[in-house]
Amino acid sequence: MNKKKRKIRRRYTRKKRGGGDPPKVTAFFENGLTIYNLFNQYHYGDNLLNLKFFYNISNRLKENKIFIRYYYNERYIKKVEELWRYMNKDSLEIIAMGNMPPTATEITMDGVKETPGHKTGIYNIPENISIFDFDKFYVAFYERILKIIGLSHLDIDKSLFQKEDYLGDVYNKLDSKFKDVDILIINAEPQSGQFTYDKEKFDNMCIHLSKKYNIVTTQPVTDSIKCTMRDGLFLQDIGAISTHAKYIIAVHSGPIVPCYNLMAKNHVRRWIVCVNQDYKMKDVDTVIIKSCDRLGDIEKYLT
């Protein structure tokens, strides 16, 4: 994009901890486009939630001449190709935070965070919505984002489980061994304290289930158990696998994010989520596992 002299505008002047208007965000005009500099400084999951939403509305961004420069933290994101899978170059560019301007605004679901030299994050949703009531929280959070970038007047899907037809093409390209699995097991160790993880107990569960079910894991367990990491698959590929899985057993971590899609919602019989809190997804049948000690009898939920 050619750089010309740019004008600066600010949207919304109130900034509150909950409710009210979203915080002010600096926008620039360049070559007929409104440019927003946004970032998230954390792990894959935090970034994928944002990027997947922007990817799903990329046509609306383009139609309304909005372009997003999205900055990621190279300290945490070691494989930026994972993020590129959710980049439509007509509406969004992904850039390392080392090149981030001081006017960039953080998009975070993790409460109030101050990044030195940068704006307070876009966090303020209604105070009565818990982040653990996640599908409801998700809608409220991205309603705020749409208001900030001037698209709240449009009929845009803000649900957690969105129609993502591109996953059908991704699925069709997968090796047949990753298709029509009984259980997709997301056994990645959480990086933000979401769950007290015991690798040995998780591995034992996977080995036990593999004797009876057709399973796929995201982290290696044994050579005989199919694994997305070992075959070099991307997180988006895990989302494609979820569209035809009967069950999902998942540590609440980054790789679960691509599984939040409409096809998985309609196809997966039950989501078994390992997380320390009372996590809710009202639109799908969900079982919460708060301790690895419960993994030994997890088969009772596969009915």
Terminal Cα-to-Cα distance of the chain (whole angstroms) = 53
Sequence-ordered strand ranges (E) for the chain: 7-11, 25-30, 33-40, 66-72, 92-96, 105-107, 119-122, 183-186, 215-217, 226-227, 247-251, 270-274, 286-289
Residue 13 has pLDDT above 90, yes or no: no
| Contact present, 254 and 48 (Cβ < 8 Å) | yes
Sequence-ordered strand ranges (E) for 163-225: 183-186, 215-217
- Residue 191's pLDDT band, with cuts at 50, 70 and 90, is confident
Both tokens assigned to 54: 């922007």
166-301: CATH number: 3.40.50.2000
pLDDT for 83 equals 97
Cβ-Cβ contacts under 8 Å for 199 (sequence gap 6 or more):
189
| Contact present, 250 and 273 (Cβ < 8 Å) | yes
pLDDT, tens only, 37-79: 999 988 788 899 999 999 999 999 999 999 999 999 999 899 9
pLDDT, tens only, 16-30: 334 455 556 889 999
- CA–CA separation, 278 vs 133, rounded Å? 8
| Contact present, 60 and 28 (Cβ < 8 Å) | no
pLDDT for 31 equals 92
**Range picked from 110-124, 260-274, 279-293 for highest mean pLDDT:** 260-274
pLDDT, tens only, 220-239: 999 999 999 999 999 999 99
pLDDT for 44 equals 87
pLDDT for 71 equals 96
Helices 134-148, 44-56: axis angle to 10 degrees equals 60
pLDDT for 279 equals 85
Burial of 228 (0-12, 13-18, 19+ CB in 10 A): buried
pTM for the full predicted model: 0.88
Strand 7-11 versus strand 270-274 pairing type = unpaired
pLDDT for 303 equals 85
One-letter identity of residue 37: N
pLDDT, tens only, 87-105: 999 999 999 999 999 889 8
pLDDT, tens only, 109-128: 865 444 454 444 555 565 67
CB atoms within 10 A of CB 288: 18
